[in-house]
Structure 1
Amino acid sequence: MAQLEPLYDKKYKCTMCEQPFATKKVRSRFVKVLSYDTDFAPLYAVESVNPNLYYVNVCPTCGFSFTDEFSLYFPPGADKVISDKICSQWVPHDFSAERTINEGINTFKLGAYCSTLKKEKHIVTAGLYIRAAWLYRGLANELQEMRFLKLALSQYTDSFSTGDYSGTHVSELRLMYLIAELSRRTGNSQDAVRFFSRVIEKQRQSVEPQIIQMAKDRWQEMREEQKVY
């Protein structure tokens, strides 16, 4: 009997050029998370078995890059913009095999660019940016990590103001916490305090006590840091 491998091929049809292709995904039974960082970045027991490396599907034919969160709908004119800016300039590249961290990062950049051109929800684009930041954190590249955390923060803030997170797996409480935590990490303590406070204010009606506690912990850490200075 053949031994089960962590990676398997999942079939997709590109929503842009309609060409079929297969790309690697990680079998859930092989995924072991040791811990989570304060912005929900997972630390995996085996880095090569990191589902985030395979989060973005890249069509090898036209270069359109998307995730399972992308909608099937293309706003009027979006397909032409994507065709002009991505497909017509695409140098055939196959991301369907096992990916390195750098290859994973490149797929997030492609995915975020496609998401922006397609006018996907801000919450979708934010998810791409923050995952790219997590991969840069794994490489200890703080400069690029901060760059992508700021991009994620901007999209999360727009998602909060437009309400486009509604109906997704990201709750209002989780979104407010993320805005606060990314503000803290990128040096905007005023917004961090404001949004941590808003999270804590909802503790009586919250069904996510863990996020309430995380907000209290970050709030306390910020108070301790202010005392030092």
Structure 2
Amino acid sequence: MANLKPVYNSKITCPVCDKNIEVTKVRSKSIRLIAQDEDFCPYYEECNPIYYEAWICSFCGYAAHNSVFEDASFMDRKLVNEKITPKWSSRSFTGERDIEQALDAFKIVLYNLVIRQAPSFEFARVCLRIAWLYRYKGDADEEKRFLRYAYDYYQKAYSNEPLGGGKMDEYSCIYIIGELARRLGEPEEALSWFERIISAAGQPEKKQKILPRLLENTREQIQMVRQAMQTGKRSV
């Protein structure tokens, strides 16, 4: 029997144009996490599922992160039909993707978010993934640019939008804001955010909401930031 490819195409219905489309998914057996950066950027032994998280309708141009692709609202559909579809040139995004194709797909998602005036959390999630892709590519300048976007949008999401449910929980959001501040050379801001988690961990009713690994990571990052401040190093 021939070895199965790590990715496969799956048929779904576009929530905007109602056409049957195909999206590419990664087989669970092909996902082997081998490492993770402090901002949750994952590294895989073989196939990287991040490359395939941007789903795009080849017919109407609607695009979104795969976790929310089917959640298009009436206003989302209206805006896509009015402002994206008339300018859209049909093309396929199925099959194996390289890093450039993944970046292209995520930037189409980002354009959709702008047109649809999406919540800040959606912008933050997509910008962070684009930053990761540039990190894989070794493009430090573009990585930092999109880390900055993610940092700003996560702060807006934390201040103005409900968290939890299908989104990131409150303390993971606080942590990622702190970690992005650290990476962007803002150690005082990083400490301010990290220390919110330590403060919450001192209250039993809040500590139970904090993942043990997240609390451990927070303590490690506080130590790293303080050591860096002592040596005059402001970012990674």
Q: Same fold (TM over 0.5)?
A: yes
Pair 17,30 (structure 1): closer, same or farther in 2 beyond 3 Å: same
**1:38 maps to what in 2?**
38
Q: Tell me if structure 2 keeps the 8 A contact 1:69–1:124.
A: no
Greater shift in the superposed pair: 166-175 or 17-26? 166-175
Which segments of 5 or more consecutive residues in structure 2 lack a partner in the other structure? none
> Which of residues 102, 107, 132 in structure 1 aligns to 2:130?
132
Q: Which of 170, 181, 184 in structure 2 is aligned with 1:183?
A: 181
2:17 partner SS: coil
- Whole-angstrom CA distance in 2 between matches of 1:70 and 1:150: 25
Q: How far apart are residue 118 of structure 1 and its match?
A: 2.4
What residue in structure 1 maps to residue 20 of structure 2? Answer: 20
Distance in 1 (CA, whole Å) between partners of 2:97 and 2:183 is: 28
Q: Which amino acid aligns with 2:84?
A: I
Letter in 2 for 1:69: V
Which residue of the other structure, out of 218, 221, 233, is the alignment partner of 1:218? 221
What is the CA deviation profile of residues 70-108 of structure 1, one whole-angstrom value per residue up to 9, with x for unaligned ones?
A: 4634254x4343234321111222111211111101111
Residue deviations 1:114-144 (CA, integer Å, cap 9, x gap) = 1233233322221111111111000010111
2:68 is matched with which residue? 69
RMSD over equivalenced CA pairs, Å: 1.7
User: 1:153·1:182 contact (CA, 8 Å) conserved in 2?
Assistant: yes
User: Per-residue deviation at 1:5?
Assistant: 2.2
Aligned to 2:5: 5
Return the match for 1:88 from 70, 86, 89: 86
- TM-score for both structures, normalised by structure 2: 0.89
Q: Where does structure 1 differ by over 6 angstroms across 4 or more consecutive aligned residues?
A: none
1:164-186 CA distances to partner (integer Å, 9 max, x unpaired)?
A: 32322411111000000011111
Q: Give 1:212 shift.
A: 1.2
State percent identity of aligned pairs: 29
Q: Is the 8 A contact 2:52 2:102 kept in 1?
A: yes
- In the alignment, which residue of structure 1 is the partner of 2:151? 153
Q: Is the 8 A contact 1:70 1:120 kept in 2?
A: no
Letter paired with 2:107: K
| Pairs aligned (count) | 226
